[in-house]
Structure 1
Amino acid sequence: MKTIVTTAVAAVTALAAIVPQPAPGQRRPGTYVVSRDPGTRPEGIAVARDGAMYVTSVSDGAVYRGHVHDRELRPFLPGGADGRTRAAGVRLDRHGRILVAGWDTGALFVHAPDGRLLARRVAAGAALNDLAVTDDAVYVTDSAGGGLWRAEVADGWVGDLVPWVPATAFPAAPGFLNGIVVTDDGRVALVADQGTGEPGSERLWRVDLVGRTASVVEVAGGQLGADGLLLDGDRLYGVVNFPDGAGGWSFAVNLALLDAGRRTARVVAQSRPTGLDQSPTTIARDAGRLLWVNSQLNATAPAPPFTVTEVPGLR
């Protein structure tokens, strides 16, 4: 999560019992309604293999749940419950647990598939933004401290958050760490740095999770100082924002091809852009399409419905 202008907070309540299941042959909608409540401000998204969709609210920490065949999501985890007053990135681990980054609460929340709180792990003073889950760990970006935190993941538990790669391990001080993905072998993370807000200050970092060191990925053809990232083999997708040439800002998804060592990236395609009024944040894949969250974080007058939509013009 990163705002260009300002953010706001609001409230959501209620708890859903089950994920709605599609009717046979039902088609996927192009637009999903996360919430019709004013001020929801959705931020993170995760789509499970069975089609369950989870979307967070940075305003009050609510988590919404639905299905890729159902147009409407429903409140699943109430805002404010368990001390979860903010929610940014969300991921699922291989056990079906729901892991939520609690932004400036400094907490990582771990929930069972039925919504029960299993663990609340705190990183003091951190702004936990996005996360990536491997077979044995979860890594979380800290937008305040400029480093990565790690918690061990096992069948029955999630360990404490510990500082894993500090800001001092980067060759230059990170500006605003945000999106993160990890390679299949769990050894390398790619971490987006949105910089200071000035065009050209964005970076993409390659982080050695074993050696706990960081280096700059050389990016050609565009920028990858993204909010949300998605890694698909040697293809890296990132939700980026940039000046629109008319005094405003545009948002799009850049697609880059990575080299084998994940040290260089070449942007080869870009989605059709959208404007500040929608301010998309994070991205997820559902079958052969991409979905992004329309946060409205930077909209002059954010208004419901708050939605998730297909990324236009890119797969």
Structure 2
Amino acid sequence: MKRMVVLSILVLMVSGQPAVAHASHTRPSTYVVSTTPGETLEGIEVTRDGTMYVTSVGTGAVYRGSTSSPRLKLFLPAGTDGRTSATGVHVDRWGRVLVAGASTSKLFLYDARGQLLVVREATPGSFLNDFTITGDAVYVTDSANNQIWRAPLTRHGLGELKPWLTRDQIQPIPYFLNGIVTDGRTLLVGEQGQDVTYRIDLLTKQVSVLEVPNGILSGDGYLLEGHHLYAVYNAGGGKYVTRLALLNHDLTKATLVADSSPGAAGATPTTIARDRGQLLWVNSQLDVAPGTPPYTVSVVPGLH
């Protein structure tokens, strides 16, 4: 230790610059979200400061932690506010946490402390799965009715949920709408029944199928970064991968670029988020639900 201090001082004297300690900041490769039986995780959000939120479709609990720490803590207890199931989760630009309530047919808005601000309800029997946020609204996929709901979102709060695009307005007819992302002008929506991605114009509501000439692109969870689209894809036979596609300028065509390595056997990855130079996905264990604790999030293998 003394030798290191002396060397640092010598560097400072010779260079005239401060000596900088290059400490290792290695982050975990696996995060333990919960050890509670039956949790069955589903959604994930990682903010710019490294705060991670993970939802439980099994109980409705929401967990929160830091990407620098291997353990998350309970943020919203299971069943509170009528939230007995939870899927999509995102943080808006005002720091509020939105949670899709899956089979509860509800969308929840919380402040950063976990205080409930408002609950908005869709038609009973809806399954509010995933959602994406534009500058002034939230668009939510309904996997039961295979339609898209919309609610205004401003600094003053969350407006009422109303049907925005119904099943009969989407061709080919969807059977299981799931992942959804936006660039502010266009929605990209995953349809897992037919393994396609819809491209929907936010202004005109015009629907088309994203052209993918070199393969199949659909997804449970999507991540859009500029013209790079990541999709958690069920490759069949219990093998799940994250698929990376490069989009053209108007998001009408995608070229598949790479696949990650498959998730672990029985892990059933669902949704995906970015943490600086790495990708994280949720190991839901849905294929073997309710699965076996611990329930985890891990780094996507072989893809950044």
| TM-score normalised according to structure 2 size | 0.90
Q: Deviations over 1:20-65 (max 9, x none)?
A: xxxx864311110000111111100000111110000000100000
Match for residue 260 of structure 1? 249
Deviation, structure 1 residue 221:
2.5
Change (3 A) 1:25 1:136: farther
* Map 1:111-130 → 2, pairs under 5 A: 111-124=110-123, 125-130=125-130
Contact 1:284 1:291 in 2 (8 A): yes
Q: Distance in 2 between matches of 1:136 and 1:164?
A: 14
Match for residue 181 of structure 2? 181
Match for residue 131 of structure 1? 131
Q: Percent identity?
A: 51
Q: Distance in 1 between matches of 2:136 and 2:203?
A: 13
Q: Helix, strand or coil for the counterpart of 2:187?
A: strand
Deviating more after overlay: 300-309 vs 143-152: 300-309
Match for residue 151 of structure 1? 151
Report the aligned-residue RMSD: 1.3
Q: Helix, strand or coil for the counterpart of 1:307?
A: strand
Aligned length: 281
Deviation, structure 1 residue 301:
7.3
Q: Which amino acid aligns with 1:296?
A: Q
**Uncovered stretches (5+) of structure 2, i.e. residues with no partner:** 1-22
Match for residue 220 of structure 1? 213
Q: Distance in 2 between matches of 1:304 and 1:39?
A: 8
Q: Helix, strand or coil for the counterpart of 1:153?
A: strand
Q: Deviations over 1:182-223 (max 9, x none)?
A: 01xx2210000001xxxxx21100011211221111113232
Pick aligned residue for 1:290 from 279, 282, 290: 279
Q: Distance in 1 between matches of 2:224 and 2:90?
A: 14
User: Quick check: which one's helix share is greater?
Assistant: 2
Deviating more after overlay: 293-302 vs 252-261: 293-302
Match for residue 41 of structure 2? 42
Q: Distance in 1 between matches of 2:118 and 2:190?
A: 27
Q: Where does structure 1 differ by over 4 angstroms across 4 or more consecutive aligned residues?
A: none
Match for residue 163 of structure 1? 163
| Match status 1:87 vs 2:76 | no
Q: Distance in 1 between matches of 2:179 and 2:119?
A: 21
Q: Deviations over 1:60-105 (max 9, x none)?
A: 1000000010100011101100000000010110001111111111
Deviation, structure 1 residue 300:
6.8
Deviation, structure 1 residue 302:
1.6
Q: Helix, strand or coil for the counterpart of 2:157?
A: coil
Contact 1:249 1:275 in 2 (8 A): no
Deviating more after overlay: 282-291 vs 207-216: 207-216
Match for residue 229 of structure 1? 222
Match for residue 280 of structure 1? 269
| Match status 1:102 vs 2:95 | no
Q: Helix, strand or coil for the counterpart of 1:298?
A: helix
**Uncovered stretches (5+) of structure 1, i.e. residues with no partner:** 1-23, 196-200
Q: Helix, strand or coil for the counterpart of 1:86?
A: coil
Deviation, structure 1 residue 171:
1.7
Q: Helix, strand or coil for the counterpart of 1:168?
A: helix
Q: Distance in 2 between matches of 1:175 and 1:107?
A: 21
Change (3 A) 1:64 1:53: same
Q: Distance in 1 between matches of 2:96 and 2:24?
A: 28
Bigger radius of gyration among the two:
2
Q: Which amino acid aligns with 2:292?
A: A
Q: Distance in 2 between matches of 1:259 and 1:160?
A: 34
Deviation, structure 1 residue 168:
1.6
Deviation, structure 1 residue 173:
1.0
Change (3 A) 1:62 1:301: closer
Match for residue 198 of structure 1? none
Q: Distance in 2 between matches of 1:71 and 1:221?
A: 38
Contact 1:54 1:90 in 2 (8 A): yes
Match for residue 210 of structure 1? 203
| Match status 1:52 vs 2:45 | no
Deviating more after overlay: 210-219 vs 157-166: 210-219
Q: Distance in 2 between matches of 1:37 and 1:276?
A: 20
| Match status 1:306 vs 2:268 | no
Q: Distance in 2 between matches of 1:56 and 1:274?
A: 19
Contact 2:55 2:87 in 1 (8 A): yes
